[in-house]
């Protein structure tokens, strides 16, 4: 009857159309952001500061537009209380104020850090975009990844990102994957996989077999990943590695038989201790805990791995085998060498290679091993004779944080997020297919999270940000000391622990201005017999057995070259009259309470955070002490001692007091005991 009575149809349909059209504005009225704003007004109604909050509240859609960052944020339409600090104890989103951060919300917007779709005004679209090409919000767990879009320095407050970036280089990820930071600096690996060109000098085929099958069985801290090799493949690879190895003349030093009696072992153990090998190397103690540093490899099973001749040659001169090694060249004499090598050779583990029985390698095995080594990319990390280092071996991860989900193959039952994918890929790479080359790394959950954080920072947006936002990382210095002293410093590998002019490790004090700080006699003596200055330190400077001539040369070089331009080390010492000393003592003990951290009188003082000051008067120059008291951080950035704003006169008195601490008698006594 549609057209039977067109008037009736016209009237009825007109009403229906009107009702339908009335729904259109209703949809706006019931929009999510409007509902949340009403909820906010309900929430603040009962509060004491309701009037203030209501006055500050503005209805409607709130937009932050930052054209130069490409940010359009409407998050504030629902998160209306981002700047209301007084609502800090409101545990309900979206009404929580933003916790304090070093950036202004108006200048950065929300999506720069939290990602997600800032332009959306619905919960679902803004937080978890349904479109595969659009960024969902980054989970709080990986939030620090956003900091890495601008920060190439390593500020405190983002430990996860900093640790993650360190892991990327330390675990050698960047050997295979190329990763360029947003500021254009390509990450370089900081691990140092050994060259395998002379591997047969060092170890046996059986050890290689057992090692590549499971490196962590040999050493729990080994960074080499597990390639999950089949027995035949490990057999062939070990055969090839032995076959390609060439012999180094230096490794074939004649060996006097290592003494293995108990007394010699005991002497070797104390040699190991005296040489402070534990500063860098760890050995499992009886309880199975690792004792020692993690700079060098773990030595618990070194006797199983290293051939005795090689071990002696290596300790005798590490650079003879590996010119790039961090290990210092101890000047051990033959007897010492025998003792310490004997001690290490005894560090064996019969279980490690118990089941390894390898027949003579056939040429076919060697050929197959070479094929495997080539295919698996061993030469990306290790130098191997006859195999070129492959370029572009694994996918470039420079923009992995912006990889569209459409380009990702997810495993079934896996959350369809980039973070989940990257995490799974790091945790169990082979779960994506046994034919994949990426090996299994030995990482703790926290480390995986850190790596994911560092990788998610590699976004497309990061590279398009204005350059003024970028905070560059510390450029690595390639400082090289010159001359004979320079050669000696390289031989002793001072830079493994000490940092000078921006180059070197952070295990020991920065020596950039050491020449201004110390007195000649003390330094000379210190080289001959390094004693530690800090009572609680585990890592200590080893005794390198340098000759008098070497020690003298090094001392002169340091005093001459490593001088701060800020003051003259030889500026006259303040008069050391007793009253000044007494005043200094008063200041030391009461006004500044230095004994909280330092020891001047070993009988009385107990503080052991800072160096012991019992003989500081014969160690440091007066000028250095004075300047140090005036501002420790200006002399050695990052040092723990707080700047106490000590006045000149107080500093003078304290300097006088400290310079009076010669401490000869006491140390002599201590030595006699």
Partner 1 sequence: MPPTIEGYWNDLRSTKVWRSVFRSGTGTSTLHRALAVQQNVFLHLASVKMRRRSLAFSATWYLGTMSLATFLILTATGILLMLYYHPSVPQAYADMKDLQFVVSAGVFLRNLHRWSAHAMVFLVFAHMFKVFYRGAYRPPREFNWVIGVILLILTLFLSYTGYLLPWDQLAFWAITVGANIMSAVPVMGRKVRFLMLGGNTVNANALLRFYVLHCVILPLVAGLLIAIHFWRIRKDGGLHTGQVETPAGAPNE
Partner 2 sequence: MRPALVTVAALALMLSFACQRPAVQPVAKGPATVPAAIVEVSGGKQVSTIGTPLDQPLVIQVNDAQGAAVAGASVRFHSAPGVIFQPASGITGSDGQFTFAVALGGMAGRYQIVATTTGASGKAIELRMDELALGFEQNQGRQLSDLYCTRCHDPESTAERVSNHDNLTAQAHAFSDGAFLNKMSDADLMAIIQHGGPALGKSAEMPPYGRTLSKSGIQALAAYIRAVADPPHQPGEAVYAQR
Partner 3 sequence: MSDQKPFQAAIESDSRKAPVRIAFVTRRTSPQVKAESDQYVMTWPEGIFRVLVVCEVLAIILVTMSLFWDAPLEGLADPMQTPNPAKAPWYFLGLQELLHYFPPVVGGVLIPTLVVLALVIIPYFNVNVEAEGLWLRNRGKRLRIFAAVVLALIVFLIVFEVWAVLAPTVLIAAAMLFAAREANNAGRFRRWLILRPLSFWIMTWFLASASLLTGIGTFFRGPGWSWVWPWKE
631-637's contacts with Cβ under 8 Å and 24+ in sequence apart are 634/566, 635/513, 635/517, 635/564, 635/566, 636/509, 636/510, 636/513
Q: How far is residue 363's CA from residue 460's CA, in Å, rounded to a whole number?
A: 49
- For residues 192 and 396, which CB has a smaller minimum distance to partner 3 in the complex? 396
Considering only residues 52 to 111 of the shown chain, the ones binding partner 1 according to CB under 8 A are: 61, 63, 72, 74
CA dihedral 462→503→221→535, nearest 10 degrees, is -120
Q: Which option in partner 3, partner 1, partner 2, none does residue 125 bind, with CB closer than 5 to 8 A by kind?
A: partner 1
Binding partner 2 (rule: CB under 8 A), the pick from 47, 96, 319, 331 is 96
Residue 482 contacts which entry, partner 3, partner 1, partner 2, none (Cβ below 5-8 A, type-dependent): none
Between 70 and 189, name the residue whose CB sits nearer to partner 3. Answer: 70
CA separation for the pair 112, 124 (Å, rounded): 19
* Residue 388 interacting partner from partner 3, partner 2, partner 1, none (CB closer than 5 to 8 Å by kind): none
**Of residues 203, 332, 343, the one with CA closest to residue 259:** 343
Number of residues that bind partner 2 (CB under 8 A): 42
Nearer to partner 1, 125 or 349 (CB): 125
The values of phi and psi at residue 636, to 5°, are -140, 95
Instruction: Select the binding partner of residue 383 from partner 2, partner 3, partner 1, none (C-beta < 5 to 8 A, by kind).
Output: none
Cβ at position 142, least distance to partner 2 in Å: 8
The stretch near partner 1 (CB under 8 A) out of 34-42, 115-123, 615-623, 654-662 is 115-123
Contacts 24+ apart (CB under 8 A), 97-104: 102/157
What is the separation of C-alpha 672 from the centre of its chain, rounded to a whole number of angstroms? 43
- Encoded one letter per residue, x for contact with partner 1 by CB under 8 A and - for no contact, window 8-37 reads ----------------xx-xx---------
Applying CB under 8 A, which part among 134-142, 233-241, 242-250, 353-361 lies near partner 2? Answer: 134-142
Q: How many CA atoms lie within 13 A of 575 on its CB side?
A: 4
Residues 127-146 that bind partner 1 (CB under 8 A): 133
Question: Under the criterion CB under 8 A, does residue 648 sit at the interface with partner 2?
Answer: no
* Residue 61 interacting entry, from partner 1, partner 3, partner 2, none, C-beta within 5 to 8 Å by type: partner 1
Comparing C-alpha atoms, which of 407, 403, 406, 420 is closest to residue 130?
406
Long-range contacts (CB closer than 8 Å, 24 or more residues apart) made by 660-664: 660/576, 660/581, 660/584, 660/617, 661/600, 661/613, 661/614, 661/615, 661/616, 661/617, 662/615, 662/617, 662/618, 663/614, 663/615, 663/616, 663/617, 663/618, 664/615, 664/618
Please give the Cα distance from 575 to 653 (Å, whole number): 10
Contact in structure between 372 and 237 (CB atoms under 8 Å): yes
Q: Is 590 in the site for partner 2 (CB under 8 A)?
A: yes
**Based on CB atoms, which residue is closest to partner 1, 24 or 249?**
24
10 binds, among partner 2, partner 1, partner 3, none (CB under 5 to 8 A by kind): partner 3
Q: How big is the chain, counted in residues?
A: 673
Stretch that binds partner 2, among 184-192, 424-432, 460-468, 588-596 (CB under 8 A): 588-596
Judged by CB under 8 A, the number of residues near partner 1 is 16
Q: Which is nearer to partner 2, 6 or 633 (CB)?
A: 633
Beta carbon of residue 622, minimum distance to partner 2 (angstroms, whole number): 22
Min separation Cβ 103 and partner 2, Å: 10
Interacting residue ranges for partner 3, rule: CB under 8 A: 2-3, 6-7, 9-10, 13-14, 16-17, 20-21, 23-24, 27, 131-134, 404, 406-407
Question: Of partner 1, partner 3, partner 2, none, which one does residue 143 interact with (CB within 5 to 8 Å by kind)?
Answer: partner 2
Contact (Cβ atoms closer than 8 angstroms) between residue 298 and residue 346: no
460 binds partner 1 (CB under 8 A): no
Beta carbon of residue 578, minimum distance to partner 2 (angstroms, whole number) = 24
Binding partner selected for residue 119 from partner 2, partner 1, partner 3, none, CB under the kind-specific 5 to 8 Å limit: partner 1
- Pairing outcome for strands 499-500 and 290-292: unpaired
Instruction: Rounding to the nearest 10 degrees, give the CA dihedral for residues 198, 200, 202, 207.
Output: 130
Q: Which does 433 bind (CB under 5 to 8 A by kind): partner 3, partner 2, partner 1, none?
A: none
| Binds 404: which of partner 1, partner 2, partner 3, none (CB < 5-8 Å by kind) | partner 3
Restricting to residues 490-529, name those near partner 1 by CB under 8 A: none
139 touches, from partner 1, partner 3, partner 2, none (C-beta below 5 to 8 Å by class): partner 2
Q: Which does 157 bind (CB under 5 to 8 A by kind): partner 2, partner 1, partner 3, none?
A: partner 2
* Tokens of residue 557, six digits: 């070089």
Q: Give, to the nearest 10 degrees, the angle between helix 622-630 and helix 648-659.
A: 140
Q: Cβ closer to partner 3: 24 or 435?
A: 24
**Angle, CA 504 vertex, CA 297 and CA 219 arms, to 5°:** 10
* Residue 534: exposure state from Cβ atoms within 10 A (0-12, 13-18, ≥19): middle
How crowded is residue 643: how many other Cβ atoms within 10 Å of its Cβ? Answer: 12
Which sign, positive or negative, has the C-alpha torsion 8, 12, 13, 17? positive
- Phi first, then psi, for residue 282 (nearest 5°) are -115, 150
Taking the C-alpha atoms of residue 341 and residue 313, their distance in angstroms, rounded to an integer, is 9
74 binds, among partner 3, partner 1, partner 2, none (CB under 5 to 8 A by kind): partner 1
- Cα distances (angstroms) measured from residue 508 to each of 142, 376, 511, 534: 33, 39, 9, 11
Contacting positions for partner 1 (CB under 8 A): 2-3, 24-25, 27-28, 61, 63, 72, 74, 119-122, 125, 133
Contacting positions for partner 2 (CB under 8 A): 88-91, 93, 96, 99-102, 139-143, 156-157, 159-160, 445-446, 449, 536, 538, 590-593, 595-597, 606-609, 631, 633, 640, 642-645
């Amino acid at each position: 009857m549609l057209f039977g009575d067109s008037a009736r149809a016209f009237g009825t349909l007109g009403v229906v159309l009107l009702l339908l059209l009335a729904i259109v504005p209703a949809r706006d009225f019931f929009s999510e952001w409007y509902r949340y704003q009403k909820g906010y007004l309900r929430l603040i109604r009962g509060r004491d500061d309701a009037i203030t909050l209501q006055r500050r509240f503005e209805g409607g859609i709130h937009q932050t537009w930052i054209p130069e960052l490409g940010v359009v944020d409407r998050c504030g339409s629902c998160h209306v209380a981002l700047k209301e600090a007084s609502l800090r104890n409101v545990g309900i989103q979206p009404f929580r104020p933003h916790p304090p951060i070093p950036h202004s919300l108006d200048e950065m917007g929300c999506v720069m850090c939290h990602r997600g779709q800032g332009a959306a005004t619905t919960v679902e679209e803004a937080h978890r975009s349904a479109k595969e090409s659009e960024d969902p919000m980054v989970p709080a767990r990986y939030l620090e990844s956003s900091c890495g879009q601008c920060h190439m320095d390593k500020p405190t407050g983002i430990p996860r990102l900093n640790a993650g970036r360190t892991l990327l280089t330390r675990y050698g990820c960047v050997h295979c994957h190329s990763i360029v930071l947003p500021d254009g600096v390509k990450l370089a690996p900081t691990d140092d996989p050994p060259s395998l060109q002379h591997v047969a000098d060092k170890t046996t085929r059986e050890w290689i077999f057992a090692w590549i099958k499971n490196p962590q069985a040999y050493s729990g801290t080994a960074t080499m990943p597990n390639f999950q090799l089949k027995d035949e493949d490990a057999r062939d690879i070990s055969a090839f590695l032995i076959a390609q190895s060439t012999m180094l003349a230096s490794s074939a030093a004649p060996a006097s038989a290592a003494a293995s009696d108990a007394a010699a072992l005991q002497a070797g153990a104390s040699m190991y201790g005296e040489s402070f090998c534990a500063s860098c190397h760890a050995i499992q103690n009886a309880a199975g805990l690792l004792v020692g540093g993690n700079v060098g490899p773990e030595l618990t099973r070194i006797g199983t791995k290293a051939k005795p001749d090689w071990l002696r040659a290596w300790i005798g001169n590490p650079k003879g085998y590996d010119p790039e090694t961090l290990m210092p060249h101890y000047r051990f004499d033959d007897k010492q060498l025998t003792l310490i090598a004997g001690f290490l050779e005894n560090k064996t583990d019969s279980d490690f290679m118990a089941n390894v029985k390898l027949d003579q390698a056939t040429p076919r095995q060697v050929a197959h091993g070479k094929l495997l080594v080539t295919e698996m990319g061993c030469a990306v990390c290790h130098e191997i004779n006859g195999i070129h280092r492959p370029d572009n071996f694994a996918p470039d991860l420079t923009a992995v944080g912006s990889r569209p989900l459409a380009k990702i193959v997810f495993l079934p039952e896996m959350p369809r997020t980039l973070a989940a994918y990257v995490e799974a890929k790091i945790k169990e790479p082979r779960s994506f297919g046994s034919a994949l080359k990426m090996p299994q790394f030995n990482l703790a959950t926290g480390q995986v999270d850190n790596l994911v954080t560092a990788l998610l920072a590699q976004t497309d947006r990061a590279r398009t940000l204005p350059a003024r936002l970028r905070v560059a990382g510390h450029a690595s210095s390639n400082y090289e000391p010159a001359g004979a002293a320079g050669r000696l410093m390289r031989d002793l590998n001072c830079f493994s622990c000490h940092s000078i002019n921006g180059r070197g490790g952070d295990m020991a004090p920065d020596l950039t201005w050491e020449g201004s700080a110390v007195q000649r006699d003390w330094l000379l003596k210190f080289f001959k017999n390094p004693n530690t200055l800090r009572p609680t330190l585990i890592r200590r400077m080893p005794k390198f057995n340098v000759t008098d001539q070497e020690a003298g040369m090094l001392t002169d070089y340091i005093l001459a070259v490593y001088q701060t331009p800020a003051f003259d080390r030889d500026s006259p010492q303040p008069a050391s009259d007793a009253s000044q000393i007494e005043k200094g003592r008063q200041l030391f003990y009461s006004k500044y309470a230095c004994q909280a951290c330092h020891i001047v009188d070993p009988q009385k003082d107990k503080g052991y955070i800072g160096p012991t000051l019992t003989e500081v008067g014969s160690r440091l120059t007066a000028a250095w002490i004075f300047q140090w008291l005036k501002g420790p951080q200006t002399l050695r950035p990052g040092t723990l001692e707080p700047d106490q704003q000590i006045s000149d006169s107080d500093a003078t008195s304290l300097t006088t007091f400290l310079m009076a601490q010669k401490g000869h008698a006491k140390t002599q006594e201590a030595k006699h005991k």
